[in-house]
Amino acid sequence: MIKHVIAGIATILALWACVYMYNSDKEVNKLANIQSLIKKSEIKVHLVKKTEIKKEVKQSEKISSSSKANKKMDDKLRALKNKAGNIAAFKVSPLYKKNCSSCHGSTGEGIIGPKLRGKDKDFLLKNLKEFKAGTRKNYVMYGLLGNLSDQQLDDLATEISTFQAKYDKAQK
């Protein structure tokens, strides 16, 4: 009888041991899984980091190249501004500034269009009228003067004819 009890207990112990071993195996597996997961995610993080870094490098390259271009533009703008600042020795009317200064310069010194400073009123008005009428052919000037009145042309001619004296005065 006692033999049976011992055998029973032994069996139960053996079973328990089996279950225990199985469970601890599971735990170990879990641990291994977790470790491999961590490793994988590290790899991912690593990969992500690498590609991100590449992206960042590319972006910063872009930025630096565009900032190079920007710098060039800035330099050009600064040069232009300096030029304008030096030459803009006197005030011009908004009418001239808006319609004419981009091509003839802030004080009539000439850029794309010829120098106007120093030309007398008759010459200026005559040419403006001819441009507007189309008798002096220039598509740039023609298109520009179409929406200016004769009075405005007269005003402009009058104003521009004073540029030289104003300029000379400002240089002293």
- Are 166 and 117 in contact, with CB atoms under 8 Å apart? no
Among 105, 116, 132, 163, binds ligand HEC (CB under 6 A): 116
* Best CA proximity match to 76, nearest among 141, 6, 68: 68
Among 1, 112, 139, 147, binds ligand HEC (CB under 6 A): 112
Helix or strand run (H / E) with residue 151: helix 150-160
| Smallest distance from ligand HEC to CB 44, Å | 59
**Is residue 141 within the footprint of ligand HEC (CB under 6 A)?**
yes
Among 92, 104, 105, 106, binds ligand HEC (CB under 6 A): 104
**Is residue 128 within the footprint of ligand HEC (CB under 6 A)?**
yes
**Is residue 110 within the footprint of ligand HEC (CB under 6 A)?**
no
**Spatial separation of the C-alpha atoms in residues 75 and 134, rounded to whole Å:** 39
Which contacts qualify for 104-112: CB closer than 8 Å, 24 or more apart? 107/163, 107/166, 107/167, 108/160, 108/163, 108/167, 112/140
- Count residues contacting ligand HEC (CB under 6 A)? 17
**Is residue 92 within the footprint of ligand HEC (CB under 6 A)?**
no
Longest CA pairwise span in the chain (Å): 141
SS3 114: coil
Residue 40-79 contact track with ligand HEC, rule CB under 6 A, x = bound: ----------------------------------------
Residue ranges that bind ligand HEC, judged by CB under 6 A: 99-100, 102-104, 112-114, 116, 124, 127-128, 138, 140-141, 144, 156
